[in-house]
Amino acid sequence: MKYLLRAEDVADDPEFLVALMKADSDKDVYPDSEEDSVYVPERVMERILGVGSAYNLQFTKHAPNNHSDRWAYSYAQLEWIIDELGFLQSLLNDQLLNDYLSKILGLAAKARHKLNELELIFEGP
């Protein structure tokens, strides 16, 4: 389908960082391990945020207007983040977006197993 992105279409896109960080980490600190992060091409993240916004989901309301600023979801917010991203994944017939949603959901689930120790951060290019 001509409207779907392919991995090769976004290979050179600037990337959003989605990562697990210790709660209340400084904004200039980054994950030590690649297994605690995923880099999402900008156009993929824009579509995820756009569809989430169209459904009036909470996770999009937490994103700053300037997506290059870092924003974080605390342990308490992870439950509804997981629900909302899972809802998006169930709606979309877009393999590339769903692959990235799966990776983000995996990070969020990992953070949920560490009571109040980790938060899920997003930071745009």
Q: What is the pLDDT of residues 14-43, one digit of tens each?
A: 999 999 998 878 888 888 788 899 999 999
Q: What is the DSSP letter of 30?
A: -
DSSP notation for 4-18: S--GGGSTTS-EEEE
Backbone angles phi, psi at 121, to 5 degrees: -110, 150
User: Percent helix, strand, coil in the chain (nearest 5)?
Assistant: 45, 20, 35
Quickly state the pLDDT bin for 2 (edges 50, 70, 90).
confident
How many whole angstroms from its chain centre is CA 115?
Answer: 20
> Is the model more confident about 34 or about 8?
8
Please name each of the domains of the chain with its CATH number: 12-123 (3.40.1760)
Measured from the Cβ of residue 25, the count of other Cβ atoms closer than 10 Å reads 17
pTM tops 0.75: yes
Measured from the Cβ of residue 115, the count of other Cβ atoms closer than 10 Å reads 8
pLDDT for position 113: 85
Measured from the Cβ of residue 125, the count of other Cβ atoms closer than 10 Å reads 13
Backbone angles phi, psi at 11, to 5 degrees: -60, -30
Question: What is the number of residues in the chain?
Answer: 125
Give the mean pLDDT of the chain: 92
Backbone angles phi, psi at 16, to 5 degrees: -85, 145
